[in-house]
Structures are given as structure tokens and as C-alpha cells.
């Protein structure tokens, strides 16, 4: 039943756009009723779905329109004009009226090219303008269609962290990237788990590329949320922070694509598979010795593991990596400490196996990671020091 509903929604939207391209001029309503150059003179569009025509009288002319929204959802304005010169930018902007505000006219969008989509969470009266952004003359009649689609995403409105919807750490949900610029926020309560959170999407739609950013919550900061891992294409995993909550924000990578088709987001908790963690910086480096065989894991992406090694009576150390899987390519770099107890480069990065020249009796630090930090593997492998 859900798939049938989604198909109807998509088919309906496609038919709407198709009808705009084909015409339907016999039902066009002339709404060019000057003067309508301010919000109080806005022309009322009595139907939330219809075809209308207006005309800009000059380059500086702004036409105002008024419409009613019956329920939470999406109001779409699209033009039939197909021969608009490239130098002309017909812009749509949405507003509402509030007589308690100093200027009473409140903008709820920036200037938008056709098709323009307004996402609202409250029924009520709204407004939009059509104008030429650069105040250039455009003498052709502007034929435009409007349409209202009732809200279909049960998690909306969740466009900001304080509207984030609660999810379990192991869960599977359906979400949408609609309309353009849509950002969906979710929140997971943590209970002191040690390990990782992995997020995955199943579907691919059109040119939409879902991206995910993770946040932690900081009640003392101005923004309240702090980026924990920046934008990444899915799948993407993180080590769980020692926090009460982790926030997730989803969007299209460039915010310029949309789809009425659903995505399936799967969240999975993975217990710690690397017994040497946490060793993500040199202050928490794992102490290693010549002759050790260590079980290590490069997980998640961007994982760096630090080790501390004191050299006995030898002038070379060889590191080998065995039985690793996936696309990872283990790479190592050696460091020493400077006079300020900070890391100082001792070698370049080298793919394993590699033999490093060292000085007997000296202490070194080395870092292990994937060469481009774009691969990961949940399965531990062996790091041999000899």
C-alpha cells in the first residue's frame, strides 16, 4: 500500500509538470489586476490549484498574490513560459502577514526561480510575489500554475536541531529529500555504549545524493549543537562520543535536487572491535614492542591509531599488515617529540610493508591509517612489528 501511495504521489507530480508544459490555456485565469504592488493589494488566488496569467508593467513592477493553505504541506508555483531570455530572472518570494511585527510583512523564503516551492507546517493565509530580479523589462505575459500537495513525510517539520525527531540507535526509517534545500534532523539518545554508529541508505534516486552530518549537543554554546563529523556521503560511521545525545542532519549534497521518492535510512550500532581503542592521538598511544603482533582495525573512515615504540639495539624496524579486507590500504608515518612535547615528523607516509631506519635506544611514535582515509573495515587485521 505504501509503494502504491508513493507511486501515485510521483505520478501526480509528473502529470502536473507535464500539464504545465502542454498548456491548458482555455482554463487560464487572468490575475493581472493592477495595482497589486504591495501585500494589502495582493490578488487572491481562490483555488490552491489553477493556471493564471499576469504581466509585469515595468522592470520595477512587483505583483503580489494571496493564497490559503488548508493543511501542512507544499505549495508549488511553476511557469509555462519556456522562452524566457537567459538575462531575465523571474523571481518568486513567499511571505506571511503579521500585524504584530514592525513591518508586518514577513519574508519566509529568499528569491526563488521557477518552480518555487513553499513548505509550511501551519494552515493559513500566505503570499507570494513575482518580479524581475534585476528590474529589467519583461513584456511577455507570465503564465503560471499553482498546486498544493498535502504533507506526506511523517517526520516533518524537522528542519532544525530543536525539531529533531527521536530515533533508536538500531532503527530503520523512511525519509524524503523534498523540496529543494530540505534538511532533516534526527536525535539518538546514548546510554554510555562503547562502539560505533553506522548509517546507510538503500535507494538511489535521480541525481539526488544524500549526505549526513553528525553533531553533539552543548547546552553552554550559542549554537547548542557542535559538528562531530562533517558532511559525508552514506554509508558513514562514527565512534560513539561520551555524550547523552548524537544528532544527525540529512540533505542533498548541493541542496539543488529533490525527489518525491522515499529513502530508507538504516542505523546500526556496532560494538567496539578494536581492543586497543581509544588510541586516536599520541597522548593515548598504545605501547608497542619489537616482535609484537597486534590486532588492529581501521574503522570508521578517518580512523587514526597511534603507537609508542622504544627501539632496542637495532637500526631498522619493519611493519607488516596481514589479512586486511575491503578497500583499505594501511599506511604508517613515524614521529618523534620536540622540545615542547609535540609530535615532529620523522618520516613520510609509507604503505605497508615498509622498513624504517631508526636509532637504537630512541622512542618513536607512529600513526596507522588508510592511505586516503576514504575506506574502512570492521574486521580487525594483524599489524606485525619486527
d(CA 256, CA 207): 9
pLDDT higher for 14 or 177?
A: 177
Domain boundaries, the chain: 16-150, 161-271, 282-385
Domain 161-271 is found in CATH 1.10.1750.10: no
| Residues whose CB is less than 8 angstroms from the CB of residue 341 and which lie 6 or more positions away in sequence, other chains included | none
Q: Mean per-residue pLDDT for 39-50?
A: 88
Is the per-residue pLDDT at 16 higher than 80?
no
d(CA 319, CA 308): 13
Q: Quick one: pLDDT at residue 47? A: 74
Residue among 196, 225, 205, 204 nearest 303 (CA): 196
Q: Quick one: pLDDT at residue 246? A: 97
Chain mean pLDDT for the chain: 91
Asked if residues 175 and 152 have their Cβ atoms less than 8 Å apart, the reply is: no
| Backbone torsions φ then ψ of 353, nearest 5 degrees | -80, 150
| Backbone torsions φ then ψ of 14, nearest 5 degrees | -65, -40
In CATH terms, are 16-150 and 282-385 the same topology? Answer: yes
Distances (CA, A) of 70 to 124, 255, 297: 7, 27, 54
Is the per-residue pLDDT at 363 higher than 50?
yes
Looking at the structure, give the CATH architecture of the domain made up of residues 16-150. Sandwich (2.60)
Residue among 316, 307, 320, 318 nearest 360 (CA): 316
Adjacent-strand bridge partners of 68: 125
Q: Quick one: pLDDT at residue 308? A: 98
Where does 282-385 sit in CATH, by number?
A: 2.60.120.380
Q: Quick one: pLDDT at residue 222? A: 84
Q: Quick one: pLDDT at residue 11? A: 44
| 61-74 per-position pLDDT tens digit | 999 999 999 999 99
Per-residue confidence band for 21, with pLDDT thresholds at 50, 70 and 90: very low
Between strands 73-79 and 142-150, the pairing is antiparallel
Amino acid at each position: 500500500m505504501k509503494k502504491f501511495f508513493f507511486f501515485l504521489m510521483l505520478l501526480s507530480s509528473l502529470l502536473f509538470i507535464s500539464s504545465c508544459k502542454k498548456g491548458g490555456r482555455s482554463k487560464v485565469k487572468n490575475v493581472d489586476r493592477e495595482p497589486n504592488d504591495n501585500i494589502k493589494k495582493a490578488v487572491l488566488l481562490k483555488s490552491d490549484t489553477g493556471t493564471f496569467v499576469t504581466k509585469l508593467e515595468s522592470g520595477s513592477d512587483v505583483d503580489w498574490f494571496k493564497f490559503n493553505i488548508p493543511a501542512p504541506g507544499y505549495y508549488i508555483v511553476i511557469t509555462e513560459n519556456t522562452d524566457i531570455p537567459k538575462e531575465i530572472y523571474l523571481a518568486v518570494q513567499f511571505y506571511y502577514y503579521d500585524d504584530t511585527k514592525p513591518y508586518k510583512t514577513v519574508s519566509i523564503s529568499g528569491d526563488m526561480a521557477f518552480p518555487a516551492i513553499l513548505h509550511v507546517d501551519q494552515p493559513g493565509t500566505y503570499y507570494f510575489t513575482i518580479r524581475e530580479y534585476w528590474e529589467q523589462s519583461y513584456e511577455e505575459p507570465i503564465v503560471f500554475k499553482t498546486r498544493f500537495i498535502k504533507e506526506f513525510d511523517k517526520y516533518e517539520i524537522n528542519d532544525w536541531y530543536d525539531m529533531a525527531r527521536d530515533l533508536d540507535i538500531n532503527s530503520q526509517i523512511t525519509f524524503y529529500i523534498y523540496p529543494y534545500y530540505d534538511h532533516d534532523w534526527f536525535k539518538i539518545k546514548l546510554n554510555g555504549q562503547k562502539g560505533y554508529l553506522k548509517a546507510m541508505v538503500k535507494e538511489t534516486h535521480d541525481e539526488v545524493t544524500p549526505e549526513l552530518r553528525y553533531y553533539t549537543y552543548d547546552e553552554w554554546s550559542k549554537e547548542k549543537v557542535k559538528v562531530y563529523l562533517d558532511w559525508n556521503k552514506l554509508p558513514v560511521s562514527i565512534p560513539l562520543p561520551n555524550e547523552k545525545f548524537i544528532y544527525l542532519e540529512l540533505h542533498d549534497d548541493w541542496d539543488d535536487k529533490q525527489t518525491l521518492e522515499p529513502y530508507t535510512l538504516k542505523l546500526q550500532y556496532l560494538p567496539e572491535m578494536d581492543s586497543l581503542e581509544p588510541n586516536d592521538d599520541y597522548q593515548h598511544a598504545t605501547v608497542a614492542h619489537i616482535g609484537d603482533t597486534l590486532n588492529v582495525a581501521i574503522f570508521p573512515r578517518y580512523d587514526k591509531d597511534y603507537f609508542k615504540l622504544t627501539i632496542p639495539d637495532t637500526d631498522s624496524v619493519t611493519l607488516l599488515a596481514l589479512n586486511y579486507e575491503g578497500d583499505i590500504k594501511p599506511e604508517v608515518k613515524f614521529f618523534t617529540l620536540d622540545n615542547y612535547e609535540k609530535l615532529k615528523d620523522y618520516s613520510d607516509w609509507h604503505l605497508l610493508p615498509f622498513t624504517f631506519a631508526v636509532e637504537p635506544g630512541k622512542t618513536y611514535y607512529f600513526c596507522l591509517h588508510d592511505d586516503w582515509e576514504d575506506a574502512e573495515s570492521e574486521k580487525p587485521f594483524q599489524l606485525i612489528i619486527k
